A and B are shown apart, each in its own frame.
Chain A
Amino acid sequence: MWATLQHELRASYAFVERNIHLVRRYMGWEMVWFTYSLATTLSIAYIGKAMEYIGHAEVDTDYLVLYLVIGTLVWRFLAFLFHDISEMVQWERWEGTIEYTLMAPIHRITQMLGQTFFAVLHGAVFTSAIALAIILLFDISLTRSNVFGAVLVLFAGSLSFIGMGIMASILPLLFPERGVQMTNVAEALLLLFSGIYYPIHVLPKWMQLIARVSPATYVLQGMRATLLQGASTRSILPVVGLLILWGFGMIGGGLWAFRRAELYAKRTGRLKRNG
C-alpha cells in the first residue's frame, strides 16, 4: 500500500518538476507573458482611476479600482489554472511525448494531481507578483476586508476550474489540430459571461442565464463580497459549499470524460504525434 502510494506520489511529482524545468527553459516567454499581464492589469486598474474624468461624475474611485483589480487578479489566477491543466495534452502533442506519458505505469489521476499542483503553484506565484505591483502603484486598503473568506472562496472556486481544465484538455486529445483553438474559445467565453469586470446584471438576459451556470460568476461575487463589503465567513459559506460541490462534480466528470476520451483516442489511433 505504502509502496504504491510512494510510486504514485513520485510519478505525480514528475509533472511538477518537469513543468518547473520547462518554465526555467522558457523563462523569456514567462517574462513576456508576465509583462503583458501586468500591463493589462494596470491598464484596467487605471480605467477605474480615470472614471471621474471620463464620466464627469463623482465616483468612489478606490472602490472601483479595487472592484476591477479583484476581477483581473481572480481571473488571472483562475485562467492560469484552466490553461496549465487544459494544455497538458497539447504541450505533449507539440513535443511528441504524449505516447510516452500515456505509456507510463501511472493512474491518470496521478498525472492530473501533479499537473494541478503545478498549475496552482504557477498561478499563485504569477498572480502574487502582479498583486504586489498593484499594491505598490495604487493605494489599496484591505482593512475592512475579510481576507480569509476571500481565500476560502478562491480555493472553492479553483476546484471547478480544475475540473473544467481537465474537461478542456480532452479537446486536443480528440481533435489534434483544432482542440487548442476550442480551448481558447472556451476560455474567452468564460471571461465574457462571468462578470469579471462588471456585475452580470448589465448583460442581456440570455447572457445572464449563461453567467449563472459559470462558477467564475460565484467566485467573483464571493470575492467582492468579502473584500469590498467585508462579508463574514459565515455569510459566504453557502456559496463556498456550492462551489465545492460543483468543483468535485466537475473534477469527477472531467476524470471520467478524460478516461473515455483516452479510450476513444486509443481505439481510433489519435495519440500519434501528428494526429
Chain B
Amino acid sequence: MKPTRHVVRSYHTGTTLWAVEVEGVTKTFSLNESGSLVQRLRGRAQSRTVHALRAVSFTIRPREIFGVLGPNGSGKSTLIRILSTLIIPDEGQARVFGHDVVREDLAVKRLINRVSVEAAFFKKLSPVENLLYGARLYGLSGREARERIYAILRRLGVRESSYTRPMEEMSRGMQQKVAIARAFLTSPVLLLLDEPTTGLDPRSKREVQALVRELRETHDATIILTTHDMNEAEALCDRIAILDEGRIVALDTPEALKARVARPGVVPTMEDVFLALTGKQLNDRGDVLSPATSTR
C-alpha cells in the first residue's frame, strides 16, 4: 500500500491531477420518525427532512490539506462519510483519485482512512489488539502490523505500559492518538480527519496538528480536515471551504478569505471571515451562538 503507486495511477482532467472531485453532491435525510412500527410500515409516521448537503462542488489537489469549516450540523461529517463510502449521495458525484465512491467503493477504500471525532474502538481490547485488527483488514501480515504498530505508538508518545491495557482505561487524548495511529498504519493517500482534535486539551491538540503536517510531508498524503476551530483551520490548511447549512459559501486560501472581508486598518481573523460570510458565530463546541448569547 505505497502511496506513490496510487498517485501514478490516479485520474487526470486535462493537465490537472485531482485527488478529490466533488460535483453537485446533495444529501437529504429523514429524521425523527415518530409513531408505532405499524404506522411506520404503513408509511404514516411523521418525519423531518434535513438537507445535509446542497449541490456541493470542489476539487482537491494531491498533497493538499483541505479544510472544511462549519458549525455543528453544517454537513461536514456527511461530506466525510460520503468520501468514506459510508453514505450514498442522493445527487452528484464524488471521486477519489478518479474512482467513483459509489460504483468503485472497494478501490476508494484502498486509498483512504479516517479519523472521526469519536475514537471508535473495542473498548475492552488494548491499543495493540485494536490496531492489529485494523491492520489485518488492510491486508498487513501479523509481523508487519506489529512492527508498524509499535513504531507508530512510540512516535505518537503513547506510554508503553498502555499498549496492552484496555482502551477504556486511557484518557480521551490518548484514545484519539490511537485513532490517528490506526489511520496512519495503512498509509492512506487520502486521509479524512473529521474533527480529530475536538475535546482534546491544548497540548494534545498541538501534537495532533504536528502529526497532520508530518503525514503530509512524509507520506505525500492528501488530507481533508473538518473542524469548527478557526485557528486550527488557518494553521493547517492550504485552502478552506466554509460550509453552512449544507452549502459551500466560500472556498479559498486563508489569506484570500481574509482579504475578502478586510477593512482598512483592521487585520481580520478567521472568526471575522466566518461571521462576515455566514452571519454566524460559534462557541468552542462548534454550536452556533444565538444573537442573545453572541458577544458581538
Q: Which residues of A contact B (CB under 8 A)?
A: 6-7, 10-11, 13-14, 17-18, 21-22, 25-26, 95-97, 99-107, 178, 263, 266-269, 271, 273
Known: A14-B133, A100-B182, A103-B114. 10 other contacts (CB 8 A): A11-B139, A17-B133, A25-B124, A26-B124, A96-B118, A97-B122, A99-B84, A107-B106, A267-B87, A273-B120
Q: How many residues of B contact A (CB 8 A)?
A: 36
- In the complex the two chains form, is A99's CB within 8 Å of B120's CB? yes
Once A25-B166, A26-B124, A105-B110 are accepted as A-B contacts, the answer to whether A268 and B30 lie under 8 Å apart by CB is: yes
Q: Please name the residue on chain B nearest to A99 by beta carbon.
A: B86
- In the complex the two chains form, is A105's CB within 8 Å of B120's CB? no
B122 contacts across to A, CB distance below 8 A: 18, 21-22, 95, 97
* Min CB gap B80→A, angstroms: 10
Question: Most chain-B Cβ atoms within 10 A of its Cβ — which of A101, A107, A266?
Answer: A266
Contact of A18 among B114, B129, B139, B166 (CB under 8 A): B129
- In the complex the two chains form, is A104's CB within 8 Å of B125's CB? no
Please measure, in the bound complex, the distance between the C-alpha atom of A14 and the C-alpha atom of B135, giving whole angstroms: 8
A104 contacts across to B, CB distance below 8 A: 109, 134, 137-138
* Min CB gap B86→A, angstroms: 5
* Min CB gap A115→B, angstroms: 13
Once A14-B136, A17-B133, A268-B30 are accepted as A-B contacts, the answer to whether A100 and B87 lie under 8 Å apart by CB is: no
- In the complex the two chains form, is B109's CB within 8 Å of A266's CB? no
8 residue pairs from A and B, CB less than 8 Å apart: A7-B139, A17-B136, A95-B123, A99-B81, A100-B182, A103-B112, A269-B78, A273-B120
- In the complex the two chains form, is A105's CB within 8 Å of B138's CB? yes
Contact of A14 among B78, B113, B123, B137 (CB under 8 A): B137
- In the complex the two chains form, is A106's CB within 8 Å of B125's CB? no
Question: Most chain-B Cβ atoms within 10 A of its Cβ — which of A95, A96, A97, A105?
Answer: A105
Q: Which residues of B contact A (CB under 8 A)?
A: 29-30, 37, 78, 81, 84-88, 106, 109-110, 112-114, 116, 118, 120-125, 129, 132-134, 136-141, 166, 182
- In the complex the two chains form, is B109's CB within 8 Å of A105's CB? yes
Please measure, in the bound complex, the distance between the C-alpha atom of A142 and the C-alpha atom of B129, giving whole angstroms: 43
Please measure, in the bound complex, the distance between the C-alpha atom of A158 and the C-alpha atom of B110, giving whole angstroms: 33
* Min CB gap A249→B, angstroms: 26
A-B residue pairs, 10 tightest by C-beta = A14-B136, A96-B120, A7-B139, A105-B109, A104-B137, A25-B124, A18-B133, A105-B110, A21-B129, A266-B88
- In the complex the two chains form, is A13's CB within 8 Å of B136's CB? yes
- In the complex the two chains form, is B121's CB within 8 Å of A11's CB? no
Contact of B88 among A7, A22, A267 (CB under 8 A): A267
Contact of B109 among A17, A26, A96, A103 (CB under 8 A): A103
Once A100-B134, A103-B85 are accepted as A-B contacts, the answer to whether A6 and B29 lie under 8 Å apart by CB is: no
B114 contacts across to A, CB distance below 8 A: 99-100, 103
Q: Please name the residue on chain A nearest to B107 by beta carbon.
A: A105
Question: Most chain-A Cβ atoms within 10 A of its Cβ — which of B85, B122, B140?
Answer: B122
Once A14-B136, A266-B87 are accepted as A-B contacts, the answer to whether A100 and B124 lie under 8 Å apart by CB is: no
Once A18-B129, A268-B29, A269-B29 are accepted as A-B contacts, the answer to whether A101 and B121 lie under 8 Å apart by CB is: no
* Min CB gap A23→B, angstroms: 10
Contact of B118 among A25, A107, A269, A273 (CB under 8 A): A273
Please measure, in the bound complex, the distance between the C-alpha atom of A26 and the C-alpha atom of B166, giving whole angstroms: 11
Contact of B120 among A18, A95, A266 (CB under 8 A): A95
A14 contacts across to B, CB distance below 8 A: 132-133, 136-137
B37 contacts across to A, CB distance below 8 A: 178
* Min CB gap B199→A, angstroms: 15
* Min CB gap B132→A, angstroms: 7
* Min CB gap A25→B, angstroms: 4
- In the complex the two chains form, is A10's CB within 8 Å of B85's CB? no
Please measure, in the bound complex, the distance between the C-alpha atom of A267 and the C-alpha atom of B86, giving whole angstroms: 9
- In the complex the two chains form, is A269's CB within 8 Å of B87's CB? yes
A13 contacts across to B, CB distance below 8 A: 136
Please measure, in the bound complex, the distance between the C-alpha atom of A18 and the C-alpha atom of B134, giving whole angstroms: 10
- In the complex the two chains form, is B141's CB within 8 Å of A17's CB? no
* Min CB gap B117→A, angstroms: 10
Please measure, in the bound complex, the distance between the C-alpha atom of A1 and the C-alpha atom of B281, giving whole angstroms: 54
- In the complex the two chains form, is B129's CB within 8 Å of A103's CB? no
B133 contacts across to A, CB distance below 8 A: 14, 17-18, 21
A269 contacts across to B, CB distance below 8 A: 29, 78, 81, 87
Please measure, in the bound complex, the distance between the C-alpha atom of A113 and the C-alpha atom of B244, giving whole angstroms: 43
